[in-house]
Amino acid sequence: MSDFWRDKRVCVTGGGGFLGSFVVEELKRRGAQHIFVPRKKDYNLVHHEAVVRLLEDSKPDIIIHLAANVGGIGANRKNPATFFYDNLMMGVQLMHEAWRFGVKKFVAIGTVCAYPKFTPVPFKEEDLWNGYPEETNAPYGLAKKMLLVQAQAYRQQYGFNAIYLLPANLYGPRDNFDLETSHVIPALIRKFTTARDEGRDEVVLWGDGSPSREFLYVEDAARGILDAAEKYDGPEPVNMGTGREVRIRDLANMIAEMVGYKGRIVWDTTKPNGQPRRALDTSRAKAYFGWEATTPLEEGLKRTIAWWEEHKHEILARERQL
């Protein structure tokens, strides 16, 4: 329980989504009593009038902006304009109107996709502007990166308290397991469990398996976001991750073994790899608001696999109805 949240009105955009659902749970655990979660059907934040109406209806002291239109490499390649426009418009309008409305604090969630393609590992926050992002997700990454520019500009000109956090690739229970739009961990879990259940002797994966990624368990991310909201009021962007770099090839082997898939893994090298390496320097988060990730990858994967195994039949049934 934290007295910080007890009398605060908190608006969590994207609060019905994957990360957002855990942030809302953590808010309740910390004693928040006034939480507003806008739904897209009621407040499409791409549209200005919906943003204004949201602020009038929720009257927030703090906004935690998690809402995003996001997907994996395939979705990014198919929808670069949509991802750019939707994410840019949501963020720019929401922060501007939040300042006009007198919101006391704005917590903006960026993306590791904002980093330049060939950033030296581990990624340090000061490297953010040293090159262009990896091409397949640059439109999304740059749209989210504008939140940092806006946060710093509004702080400088208006004294607006907006902070900007850069989480590593998230995963965990309740993740998006749709193969068209999912990220790598839920996609691998679904592919390997499906192949196991159907007795297939091979699974085809994109790329050559050489890129590396860093994965942050969703409950650790939720805790870090709220720690930052409570304790951090500065202009600098802050990475949130584990500091552990994992090659996709090794991750695939790990998940295949965990789910009991015995067949071959075939790498389709005609498909893109995405960014070559990703791993974050997380020292700033510890120094600025005392946060560190605590869930080892193996433990987080076990929990995520267990959730999928328990819920996959209802998810697959829903998909068949669409």
Domain assignments of the chain as residue spans, ordered by start = 3-321
Q: For 267-318, what is each residue's pLDDT tens digit? A: 999 998 888 899 999 999 999 999 999 999 999 999 999 999 999 999 999 9
For 43-70, write each residue's pLDDT tens digit.
Answer: 999 999 999 999 999 999 999 999 999 8
CA separation for the pair 41, 57 (Å, rounded)? 15
Mean pLDDT of 61-86: 90
Choose, from 140, 154, 164, 171, the residue flagged as catalytic.
140
Where does the pLDDT of residue 1 fall: very low under 50, low under 70, confident under 90, or very high at 90 and above?
Answer: low
217 is catalytic: no
Beta strands in the chain (DSSP E): 9-13, 34-36, 62-65, 105-109, 162-167, 169-171, 202-206, 212-213, 215-217, 238-240, 246-247, 264-268
- pLDDT of 214-248, one tens digit each? 999 999 999 999 999 999 999 999 999 999 999 99
Rounded CA-CA distance 31/8 in Å is: 10
User: What pLDDT was estimated at residue 207?
Assistant: 95
Supply the pTM of this predicted model. 0.95
Q: Report whether CATH 3.40.50.720 matches the domain 3-321.
A: yes
Position 289 scores a pLDDT of 98
Q: What is the DSSP letter of 164?
A: E
Q: How far is CA 227 from CA 36, 132, 202, 300, 316, in A?
A: 19, 30, 44, 21, 36
240 within 8 A of 168, measured Cβ to Cβ: yes
